């Protein structure tokens, strides 16, 4: 159950990281659009397009700068949660292995007791048949 909770927390953190990375990609696209607008205004001579393109580029840059620390924090959090999840998975698998070993030992001991009972029965039967002769 702890493993499932850790897995859910990891998946949530990874989805948040993905969302931030998509937002960063959108900001980068916005910056490229602004630079294209500046380049186009250089050909047409439109001052308003040039100013709009410069402002788009600056806004995209500010947005990307604001996202960078949040993305780094989200990456560190996801890495920590991944380690916790993997530790829980290892813990569960080790417990399962110990349980299988214990069950195998119990089955082996049960087989030995059964064989011992059969041997005792056979010896007692053999001993009775010799005493009857």
Tokens of 19: 């969302």
pLDDT for the residue numbered 132:
67
Residues 6+ apart with CB under 8 A from 58: 34
Separation between Cα atoms, residue 13 and residue 70, nearest integer Å: 12
Rounded to an integer, the average pLDDT of 50-68 is 92
* pLDDT value at 19 more than 90: yes
pLDDT for the residue numbered 130:
72
pLDDT class for 11, splitting at 50, 70, 90? very high
Tokens of 115: 């064989």
pTM of the model: 0.66
pLDDT for the residue numbered 2:
85
Average pLDDT, the chain: 90
| 3: nearest Cα among 92, 125, 65 | 92
Each domain of the chain, given as residue ranges in start order, spans 2-132
pLDDT for the residue numbered 115:
93
């Amino acid at each position: 159950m702890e493993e499932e909770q850790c897995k859910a927390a990891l998946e949530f953190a990874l989805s948040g990281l993905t969302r931030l990375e998509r937002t960063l990609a959108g900001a980068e696209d916005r910056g490229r659009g602004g630079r294209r607008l500046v380049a186009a205004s250089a050909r047409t001579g439109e001052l308003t397009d040039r100013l709009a393109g410069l402002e788009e580029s600056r806004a995209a840059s500010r947005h990307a700068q604001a996202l960078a620390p949040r993305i780094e924090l989200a990456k560190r959090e996801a890495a920590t949660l991944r380690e916790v999840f993997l530790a829980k998975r290892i813990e569960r698998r080790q417990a399962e292995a110990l349980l299988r070993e214990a069950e195998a030992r119990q089955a082996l001991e049960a087989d030995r007791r059964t064989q011992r009972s059969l041997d005792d029965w056979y010896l007692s039967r053999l001993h009775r048949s010799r005493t009857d002769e």
